[in-house]
Amino acid sequence: MTELQKENIPRHIAIIMDGNGRWARKRLLNRINGHRKGMDAVKAVVTAAREVGVKYLTLYAFSTENWKRPHEEIKALMTLLGRYLKSELSMMMDNNIKLVAVGKIEDIPGKERGILQETIVKTAGNDGMVLNLALSYGGRDEILNSVRSLAMQVKSGEIEPHDITEDLFKENLLSVGMPDPDLLIRTSGEMRLSNFLLWQSAYTELYFCDTLWPDYGKEDLLLAVKDYQSRERRYGKTSDQVMPEVTST
């Protein structure tokens, strides 16, 4: 079992869960079987993140581009979403996990959207970890919406253009109230962000692994965190500047 530095756990981990289709294809199975198996990985990773002390876990569950997929696959993904939320509600309550969601939630089919909203309400009082599902989400769309919101505020006279700061911009993002990810993991060997948390990931540590998502589990997450703990986060400073800060903490 991988040993971690308890004092250096990423506060916020974001994951691009990639490889369900390839996992299924390698086994001569339908892609939907890969998505179904991927739900087991979600359960394992959520539990593991809570165990090690992660405070925010964001999962890229469905992108705005995913609506271009075949209708039957989209229908199956939405059905799996509803099943996951129903089956894991008790786990969330038992483990003090609060569910939230970002994206165009209004695009989610009525039945599954209702289950999602109900789960969000029921877990709203939990404060052990935030599980954030990115659903019908796109990073560029999120940034554009923030720009439009600020433009409207300028137009209405609420603010002046020079009032727009990074902090004000962030207040108009869907992730308002959450810290930026410390660590972003992508599975399956692909090395790109795929329109995920583009603003928030400016200084995020990126970790790519070849494991297909359905095969991903607790030990894989621990290895990613272990790798994160070996890195020096300088935010533009030099190593000499960072070391005194680390020593003092």
| Cα–Cα separations (whole angstroms), residue 19 to 22, 196, 209, 211 | 5, 16, 11, 8
Residue 66 is among the residues annotated as catalytic for this protein: yes
**Residue of 30, 66, 145, 172 with catalytic role:** 66
CA nearest to 38, candidates 70, 62, 56: 62
Residue 127 is among the residues annotated as catalytic for this protein: no
* C-alpha dihedral sign at 19, 20, 24, 27: positive
What is the rounded distance in angstroms from the CA atom of residue 105 to the CA atom of residue 15? 19
Start-to-end CA distance of the chain, whole Å, equals: 27
For the beta carbon of residue 54, count every other beta carbon within 10 angstroms. 23
Q: What are phi and psi of 107, to 5 degrees?
A: -80, -20
Tokens 């253009």 — which residue? 161
Catalytic residues: 18, 66
